[in-house]
Amino acid sequence: MTTTISHIFDSHRRACAAVTALEQAGVPAHDISIAVSKGTVAPYHEPDHDVGTAAGASVGATLGGGTGLLAALGVVAIPGLGPVIAAGWVAAMAAGAVTGATAGAIVGGLVDVLRQAGESEEDAHVYTEAVRRGSTLLVLRIDDTRVDEARAIIARFDPVDAVSRSREYRAQGWNGFDAQAAPYRLTPAEMDRIRAETRD
């Protein structure tokens, strides 16, 4: 049996480091997924491949290090999020939904994919909203016997507490991910943070 583990990171670099650590621990790349809004990294890296039309095209050399899962990073359009840089099975499912369904059938695509993976509706909405607002989502399928090990590895890279983030969003009047909302625009301060992380 397998368990789905999902975490969000405010640092894209830390999320990529967590992916690398999981792979080094023997977790197969095909069991890991990562997704981040293209707007989070676009000011500093401009991938030009589309997962939906060129599956497997690599943009990972600049976005994540260029090895393992990160070498397969590409861009897929997801309703409500706009272009998302992603790799792994979640990206494949989202890309399949985008290319194989009508627009009306894929509203909230990432929410649906996460729910199918076993996440609660609440968590699926929080994780998707986090991607919309610039955070990086890491989703992992792991054998039940390795759940504690995987969680310990991910914890080393300071993931965001999803419950606290949900409370923060709700305090701002948020009631769930809205696929019809405009893509989130990074503030100048957020862009400065991303620039600093990219140049470290």
If one compares 74 and 171, the residue with the highest pLDDT of the two is 171
Q: Predicted confidence band at 62 (pLDDT cuts at 50, 70, 90)?
A: very low
Instruction: Give residue 149's pLDDT.
Output: 98
* Higher per-residue confidence, 131 vs 39: 131
pLDDT at 53: 35
CA 165 from chain centre, in angstroms, equals 15
Beta-bridge partner residues of 160: 8
pTM listed for this prediction: 0.79
Q: What tens digit of pLDDT does each residue of 96-155 get?
A: 554 444 333 333 488 988 998 899 999 999 999 999 888 999 999 999 999 999 999 999
Token representation of residue 89: 């099975």
Type of residue at 118: G
Residues 6+ apart with CB under 8 A from 36: 12, 15, 84, 85, 86, 131, 134, 135, 136, 137
Q: Which residues contact 93 (CB under 8 A, 6 or more apart)?
A: 113, 116
Q: Confidence class of residue 5 from pLDDT cuts 50, 70 and 90?
A: very high
Instruction: For 9-38, write each residue's pLDDT tens digit.
Output: 998 889 999 999 999 999 999 999 999 988
pLDDT tens figures, 144-188: 999 999 999 999 999 999 999 999 999 989 999 998 887 677 777
DSSP assignment of 10-58 equals S-HHHHHHHHHHHHHTT--GGGEEEEEEHHHHTTT-----BTTTSTT--
User: Average pLDDT for residues 40-56, to the nearest whole number?
Assistant: 45
Structure tokens at 82: 């706009």
Is there a contact between 89 and 110 (Cβ–Cβ < 8 Å)? no
pLDDT at 41: 64
Vertex 34 angle, CA 95 and 114, to 5° = 65
Compute φ and ψ for 46, nearest 5 degrees.
Answer: -120, 80
* Local confidence band at 58 (pLDDT 50, 70, 90 cut-offs): very low
The better pLDDT of the pair 36, 50 is held by 36
Q: In what order do the strands lie in the sheet with 82-87?
A: 2-9, 136-143, 32-37, 82-87, 74-78
